[in-house]
Amino acid sequence: MVDIKDYPEFETAWCPGCGNFPLRKAMRQALANLGLEPHQVVFVSGIGQAAKAPHYIPCNLFNGLHGRALPPAQAIKLALPQATVIVESGDGDMYGEGGNHFIAAIRRNVDITAVVHDNQIYGLTKGQASPTTMPGHKTKAQPFGAPSDAFNPVAVAVAMRANFVARGFVGDMDHLAELIVQAVRQPGFALVDVFQPCVSFNKVNTFQWYKQHCYRLDESYDPTDWRQAMDKAVEFGERIPTGVIYKGDRPTFEDRLPTAPKEPLARRGVDREALKRIMSTYGAPLKRPTKKAGP
């Protein structure tokens, strides 16, 4: 039986009071609840304080370039279908530098889970506006206020009918752990956008701010109703819903690809007779032209 102690804690580089700490605990609890042993899990991350999170969990890890976590995560899942693949990174990394990869991953629908630390700021580089920073929010780099509208990742994911879309808050840790469990169990691309306060560089969206604005969806809410989910996805202001916003049933990329491996690619042998048959369809090998004799 897997226990949270199978995922021990390590010294980190995070600020005291950072929202990354409860998120890491929720992730460890979710892995234990799923009964997953560390060797069965592959984490993939990009760059940022949030992207360091998998460094402090003793599983397999691929740490990619800034914004490039999702492509290798999909490749790992296709090459190693038995693995549970979780992408864990921040809002700047996933929705800014990796924005196009985020959209492509939803379209492709490979069976992976993306857990995004959304603190509405760039924490690693000390406080610039991120894609989810609210317009007018003043930062060191935007002293007159962020001029752009905020990106709503939940609304985009629901609009594109991602198979699982949820929003969690680290101030409601048991609920967050349960959302991660459901996301991992749902086939196809799953997103858990997590409000996680940056105590050093975001003095607006604090723990208190999230507690005042977030509320849990109740049991009467039906996440399979797409139109109702769109209404909840765009609800962002005085009240912000947390919980499972949408659950879809699109076939996964693996289901639609006849050649998708059912076992690790590394264990596949080479059918040399089939290779010969394929090569024979290209005709006789080319011959070098011979020089004509002179006059």
Residue 284: which pLDDT band, with cuts at 50, 70 and 90? low
**pLDDT value at residue 100:** 96
**pLDDT value at residue 262:** 83
In this predicted structure, the answer to whether residue 291 has a pLDDT above a threshold of 80 is no
Between these two residues, 284 and 60, which has the higher pLDDT value? 60
Q: What is the DSSP string of 138-158?
A: --SS-TT---SPPP-HHHHHH
Q: Give the range among 4-18, 80-94, 185-199, 212-226 with minimum mean pLDDT.
A: 4-18
Mean pLDDT of the chain: 93
Question: What mean pLDDT do residues 194-220 have?
Answer: 95
**pLDDT value at residue 148:** 94
Residue 39: which pLDDT band, with cuts at 50, 70 and 90? very high
Report pLDDT digits (tens) over 3-38: 998 999 889 999 999 999 999 999 999 999 999 999
In this predicted structure, the answer to whether residue 224 has a pLDDT above a threshold of 60 is yes
- Are the CB atoms for 88 and 49 separated by under 8 Å? no
**pLDDT value at residue 289:** 66
Residues 6+ apart with CB under 8 A from 289: none
Task: Indicate the angle between helix axes 20-33 and 173-185, nearest 10 degrees.
Answer: 50
Report pLDDT digits (tens) over 232-269: 999 999 999 999 999 999 999 999 988 888 888 888 88
**pLDDT value at residue 139:** 92
- Two tokens, residue 259: 């050649």
Q: What is the DSSP letter of 12?
A: -
b or e along 81-95 (b: 16 or more beta carbons within 10 Å of the residue's beta carbon)?
bebbbbbbbbbbbbb
Report pLDDT digits (tens) over 137-169: 999 899 999 999 999 999 999 999 999 999 999
CA distance 221 to 131: 28
**pLDDT value at residue 260:** 83
State pTM to two decimals: 0.90
What pairing do the DSSP bridges indicate for beta strands 84-90 and 41-45? parallel
- Two tokens, residue 168: 């969690």
In this predicted structure, the answer to whether residue 271 has a pLDDT above a threshold of 90 is no
In this predicted structure, the answer to whether residue 295 has a pLDDT above a threshold of 60 is no
**pLDDT value at residue 221:** 97
Query: Which of 173, 240, 232 is CA-nearest to residue 213?
Result: 240
Report pLDDT digits (tens) over 60-109: 999 989 999 999 999 999 999 999 999 999 999 999 999 999 999 999 99
As a whole-number percent, the residues of the chain with pLDDT over 70 amount to 96
